Amino acid sequence: MEQEFKKNRDIKDMDTVFENTGAQNMETAAEKPDDNVKDPTQVGNYTADNIQILEGLEAVRKRPGMYIGTTSSRGLHHLVYEIVDNSVDEALAGYCTHIEVTINEDDSVTVTDNGRGIPTGINHKSGKNAVEVVFTILHAGGKFGGGGYKVSGGLHGVGASVVNALSEWLTVEVRSGGKIHRQSYERGKSKTPLEVIGSCPSDETGTMVTFKPDPLIFQETTVFDYDILRQRLREMAFLTKGLRITLTDLRSTGEEEKKIRQHTFCYEGGIREFVTYLNRSKKPLYEKVLYFEGTKNNVYVEVALQHNDSYTDSEYCFVNNINTPEGGMHLVGFRNALTKTFNEYGRKNKILKDSEPNLSGEDIREGITAIISIKIEDPQFEGQTKQKLGNVEARGATDSIVSEQLKYFLEQNPSVARTVIEKSLMAQRAREAARKARELTRRKSVLDTMSLPGKLADCSDKDPKNCEIFLVEGDSAGGSAKSARSRATQAILPLRGKILNVEKAREDRIYANEEIKAMITAFGTGIHNDFDISKLRYDKIIIMTDADVDGAHIDTLMLTFLYRFMPELIKQGHVYLAMPPLYKLEKNRKVWYAYSDEELNRILNDVGRDQNNRIQRYKGLGEMDPEQLWETTMDPERRILKRVQINSETESEVDLTFTTLMGDKVEPRREFIEENARFVQNLDI
Ligand code: TSJ
């Protein structure tokens, strides 16, 4: 049995200084294979087959959503992953060690690898060279060569030709056999034949693709987000041990000094280091990261895990490097193996007494961080969003590899086994207590308004669509908010002090927490599996806290609670942050409110910096009288709200971003605030 439980290595996520290696351009010409022009609108020499091909790519341009899911920012970034996937395949085949992704100044992207280079010879089936096949025939990816797993073409399974079809232009350069080949395309159509444009040392091989997404297709945006690419490329590097991926941003930042951003990811430990990375801000319960690996029934299985002292489990599953947030057969197999093996070990070694019931899977997984990564031929994605693995052979393979190797590991590491089982026993007891507490909460919420929390000042309008609830930090601000509000439509729920961190508390304590109980009953929706959005009593849930560090912390705790217990509230756009002002400025009986230092300065520039300016710095909501609170923060006509959104490419890094919504009558602040509204909080930290 092969096992490795080495000490975790440092994670190499380093900022590096960029040196431009540049794209090398060369000359010469090769020949196009055919000259049967069937379509008079086509310039150049295409066969009937070629014309069909072009129609194929036209279909992609007509209905891009069918091929990449969406033409939003998400779809735009997806193009990069489609190209990079090809290089990752080459790495998995053992021929590529480094991938470079560069965002160029014009928002085109270059992907370069040091693999064998896409074959340039004539493909017998189509009579065309393989490069052209890859870029102009739908679903042509990965048809050459054998061995290894076909990993590219994720959820939407499309590949290079789709990227080509959706690009204003695309250029591919292949180095192989001492020659540099190049071909260019526009909106999916070849503009030049595959030409030899120069020579290179014969041991220098690789593929370079540069493409510019077509603004006619990506009408929302064609601007790449560095951080989104960084997250996903880091994940890809974790999933392919030893592969080095470099991301570089050559766009100017608007600042005077041109600072080029660059990150390099390379993890010799692969998913073991992924687990260490995910646990980076947590306290591991033991030092080792457990790692199991093997192949069974043609399924390659890799699992890494480690428990931390928190109470939530984080399991991330991948099939052929594609995230499957809804799990599926591999997850089922993993969980089954974990539950079975720990229970067996516990019984055999008398840590679990005969009189005690088995540990449940949930108990054993409390605080676990696990990566389940499998490689499989012909993956079947199921479920509404096609994010669940359906292949049954994946269940047995994962189960047997994890069972066998975990059993062996526990025998070799009895202290780890004991630690996990003891934590599971505590989880079991807490879960029983939680069940009782939860039932109380549930029974209470059935009684609806009769059991609404005493501190809640509810609104009189009974149509939830018109209603909003303010969750207000502190009793004194709560008091102001109660007298300031518009009674018909605005409810106030004051919350005392810092709310419980649900990431750090066991379930029974969560249900015993007064603030949390009050929120759950007030919202009316129930939680987790009981959640029912149609029971929501308020259209807007508005978190109103001081505009300081403590306030921001409370925002985070509150959002964490909402995200863990009722994520749909956030996903469906019901959760907002109120934005109280930082300053009040009075001059000649006129009043201005500033929501940032920059805005204060701008107002001062506008009105003049006179002696008689009266500037009041608000430290907290409590400092405002009800009238001020109303006009600056609560009045729907004048206030600024930030709507909370989940904006993340990778499941393992949940990012919340905020869109600013303004009251109708406030124009001048718009620009500034929109520029500054986007801050990101990482729930994992
Ligand atoms: F597909 C693509 F055009 F998008 C693309 C492919 C983009 C990039 C950046 C790289 C690649 C790519 C393809 N890198 N490496 C390869 N390798 C092959 O296509 C290849 C080479 C040799 C053999 C062989 O059997 O000799 C087989 C294959 C699939």
Class of the domain covering 65-265:
alpha beta
297 vs 299: CA distance, rounded Å: 5
Map out the domains of the chain as residue ranges: 65-265, 271-431, 456-581+628-646, 583-617
Q: Which residues pair with 181 in a beta bridge?
A: 174, 196
**CA 193 to centroid of ligand 1, rounded, Å:** 18
Nearest Cα residue to atom 23 of ligand 1 = 145
What are the residues facing 351 on neighbouring strands?
A: none
In whole angstroms, what separates CA 352 from the centre of its chain? 39
**Pocket of ligand 1 from Cβ distances under 6 Å:** 83, 86-87, 90, 111, 113, 115-116, 118-119, 134, 141, 144-145, 160, 172, 207, 209
List the residue whose alpha carbon is closest to atom 17 of ligand 1.
118
The DSSP element (H or E) to which 413 belongs, if any, is none
**Per-residue model confidence (pLDDT) at position 384:** 83
Name the average pLDDT for the chain. Answer: 84
CATH of 271-431, one of 1.10.760.10, 3.30.230.10, 3.30.365.10, 3.40.50.300: 3.30.230.10
| C-beta separation of 545 from 554 below 8 A | yes
Question: Separation of 74 CA from ligand 1 center, angstroms?
Answer: 25
Please tell me the residue having the least CA distance from ligand 1 atom 14: 87
Using CA atoms, how far apart are residues 667 and 92, in angstroms rounded to an integer?
54
CA 598/CA 400 separation, integer angstroms: 60
Q: What average pLDDT score do residues 421-440 get?
A: 87
Q: Which atom of ligand 1 is nearest to the CA of 116?
A: 21
* Separation of first and last alpha carbons in the chain: 36
> Secondary structure of 421-488 in the HEC alphabet?
HHHHHHHHHHHHHHHHHHHHHHHHHHCHHHHCCCCCECCCCCCHHHCEEEEEECHHHHHHHHHHCCCC
Residue 632 gets the label, from left (phi > 0), alpha (psi -120 to 50) or beta, of alpha
Return the best residue to mutate from 207, 211, 233, 240 for the ligand 1 pocket (most ligand atoms within 8 A of CB): 207
8 Å CB contact between 566 and 527: yes
Distance 87 CA to ligand 1 centre (A): 7
Question: Could you tell me if 459 and 491 are in contact, meaning their C-beta atoms sit under 8 angstroms apart?
Answer: yes
pLDDT of 680 > 80? The answer is no
422 has pLDDT over 50: yes
Which CATH code, of 3.40.50.300, 3.40.1170.60, 3.40.50.670, 3.40.50.1390, is assigned to 456-581+628-646?
3.40.50.670
DSSP string, 29-89: ----S------TT--S---HHHHHHHHHHHHHHH-HHHHHS-SSHHHHHHHHHHHHHHHHH
Closest residue (by CA) to atom 19 of ligand 1? 118
86 CA to centre of ligand 1 in angstroms:
6
Q: Is 672 exposed, middle or buried (0-12, 13-18, 19+ CB in 10 A)?
A: middle
Lowest mean pLDDT across 9-13, 281-285, 669-673: 9-13
Q: What residues form DSSP beta bridges with 502? A: none
Q: Looking at ligand 1, which atom is closest to the CA of residue 115?
A: 15
Q: Work out the average pLDDT over 514-524.
A: 91
For residue 461, the model assigns a pLDDT of: 95
Which amino acids are annotated catalytic? 473, 546, 548, 550
Any idea which of 126-135, 261-270, 483-492, 646-655 has the lowest mean pLDDT?
A: 646-655
C-alpha of residue 91 to centroid of ligand 1, in Å: 10
CA of 145 to the centre of ligand 1 (A): 10
For residue 146, give the ligand 1 atom closest to its CA.
Answer: 25
Answer whether 300's CB lies under 8 Å from 239's CB. Answer: no
Angstrom distances, CA of residue 466 to CA of 69, 245, 487, 537, 660: 34, 50, 12, 10, 20
Instruction: Check residue 315 and give its pLDDT.
Output: 96
Written as six digits, the tokens of 207 are 């593929």
**Closest C-alpha residue for ligand 1 atom 25:** 145
Counting ligand 1 atoms within 8 A of each CB, the residue from 79, 80, 82, 87 with the most, and so the one to mutate, is 87
Hey, what amino acid is at 565?
Answer: F
**Average pLDDT of the residues in 118-146:** 74
Residue 485 has pLDDT above 70, yes or no: yes
Closest Cα to residue 388, out of 297, 317, 315, 293? 317
Report the distance separating Cα 109 and Cα 250, nearest Å: 10
**578-628 pLDDT, tens digit each:** 999 989 898 888 888 988 888 889 889 888 887 787 888 887 888 889 999
- Give the 3-state secondary structure of residue 231: helix
> Which residues fall within 8 angstroms of residue 118, CB to CB, at 6 or more apart?
130, 131, 134, 172, 174, 207
Residue of 82, 86, 109, 136 to mutate, ligand 1, most atoms within 8 A of C-beta: 86
For residue 342 the two structure tokens come to 């720990």
- Ligand 1, atom 5, residue with closest C-alpha: 86
Task: State the pTM of this model.
Answer: 0.78
Say how far apart CA 344 and CA 352 lie, in whole Å: 9
Q: Which residues contact 172 (CB under 8 A, 6 or more apart)?
A: 118, 131, 135, 182, 183, 184, 207, 208, 209
Question: How close is the Cα of 116 to the center of ligand 1, in Å?
Answer: 7
- Residue for token pair 């406030």: 666
pLDDT level of residue 439 (50, 70, 90 thresholds)? confident
Distance, C-alpha 185 to centroid of its chain? 32
Residue 470 CA to residue 494 CA, distance in Å, equals 8
Who's near 665: CB < 8 A, 6+ residues apart? Answer: 637, 638
Q: Which atom of ligand 1 is nearest to the CA of 163?
A: 4
Percent of the chain exceeding pLDDT 90 equals 59
